[in-house]
């Protein structure tokens, strides 16, 4: 096992594992303490969980803010206290009261959430209120007022509508209509709440029955590795994604040798000390900075004068 690993591993979190479980397991596999994750997934959810190692832990929060894509199933006519299938059923709508629900109406309501809306965080969530996480208060039987937060819904697509059963989620309510959605959204969006809000707008309520996160920024589920695959990998460095891959959309710039020490120390660098790796991309705004040996130093930004580059985030 190499002494130093700095980068990310695209992990497929399996259902019933917490995000903390994944990090703890990775610490045991890699024998490295400095490990974190980006974008918490509920225990019942599965899918992409970027694990950040070493210096990459500095971008965990940035990755948490990346656009995410989910595949979700929701059951109409049922409401639980957790807004998902793990909770206690607190309301159900008689199936006879939902006979007027048509596919056209369902699609119209779902499409109305595209673009974004003001969402109230669920009680069973990790948001802090009154110095405690909401799920801690919920477990104490308390319900507190939560301020709505505007969430961004870049895309919401109805993948499937089954009006009369066909699936076995939610036990006795398996005959209730089930909808499968694909959602691409911004930071802080709770898919459980989105499903519940869709159900409320339809007038029958809804509960999320299954959730898979298929993408976090550049991390795709098709390349995600399960924990057992990581354990069986003889050379971990082969599956570590370099930190600079997260910033691949930014121009790549090299620092001239005589200015390299300034870069390594995170100091400002005169513009004349920079040379483009890609001459087609001018270093305006933020860019990736590399030293003369090609090692990634960090993210820099040219100031308004165009004469000085300032450090934004260092990884050297």
User: Active-site residues: which are they?
Assistant: 42
Task: Please choose, from the candidates 55, 51, 4, the residue with its C-alpha nearest in 3D space to the C-alpha of residue 31.
Answer: 4
d(CA 125, CA 196): 14
Q: Give the total residue count for the chain.
A: 316
CA 162/CA 179 separation, integer angstroms: 6
- C-alpha–C-alpha distance, residues 121 and 134, integer Å: 9
For residue 233, count CB atoms less than 10 angstroms from its CB and return exposed for 0-12, middle for 13-18, buried for 19 or more.
middle
- Cα gap 2→137, rounded to integer Å: 43
Counting Cβ atoms within 10 Å, is residue 120 exposed (0-12), middle (13-18) or buried (19+)? middle
Cα(82)–Cα(245) distance, integer angstroms: 36
CA atoms in the 13 A half-sphere facing the CB of 47: 22
User: Does residue 200 contact residue 46 with C-beta atoms inside 8 Å?
Assistant: no
């Amino acid at each position: 096992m190499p002494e130093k690993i700095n980068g990310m591993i695209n992990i497929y979190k399996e259902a019933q594992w917490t995000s903390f479980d994944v990090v703890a397991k990775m610490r045991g596999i890699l024998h490295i303490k400095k490990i974190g994750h980006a974008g918490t997934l509920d225990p019942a959810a599965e899918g992409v969980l970027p694990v950040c190692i070493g210096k990459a832990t500095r971008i965990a929060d940035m990755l948490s803010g990346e656009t995410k894509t989910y595949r979700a199933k929701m059951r109409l006519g049922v409401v639980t206290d957790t807004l998902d299938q793990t909770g206690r059923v607190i309301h159900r709508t008689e199936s006879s009261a939902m006979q007027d629900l048509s596919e056209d109406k369902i699609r119209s309501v779902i499409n109305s959430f595209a673009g974004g809306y003001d969402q109230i965080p669920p009680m069973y969530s990790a948001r802090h209120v009154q110095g405690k996480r909401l799920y801690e208060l919920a477990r104490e039987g308390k319900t507190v007022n939560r301020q709505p937060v505007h969430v961004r819904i870049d895309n919401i697509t109805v993948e499937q509508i089954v009006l009369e059963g066909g699936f076995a989620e939610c036990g006795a309510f398996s005959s209730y209509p089930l909808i499968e959605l694909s959602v691409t959204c911004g930071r802080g969006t709770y898919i459980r709440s989105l499903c519940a809000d869709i159900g409320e707008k339809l007038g029958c309520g809804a509960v999320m029955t299954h959730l898979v996160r298929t993408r976090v920024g550049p991390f795709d589920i098709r390349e995600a590795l399960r924990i057992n695959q990581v354990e069986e990998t003889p050379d971990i460095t082969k599956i570590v994604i370099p930190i600079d891959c997260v910033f691949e959309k930014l121009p790549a710039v090299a620092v001239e040798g005589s200015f390299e020490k300034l870069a390594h120390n995170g100091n400002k660098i005169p513009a004349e000390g920079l040379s483009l790796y890609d001459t087609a991309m001018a270093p305006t705004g933020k860019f990736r900075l590399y030293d003369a040996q090609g090692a990634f130093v960090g993210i820099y930004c040219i100031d308004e004068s165009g004469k000085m580059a300032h450090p934004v985030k260092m990884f050297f």
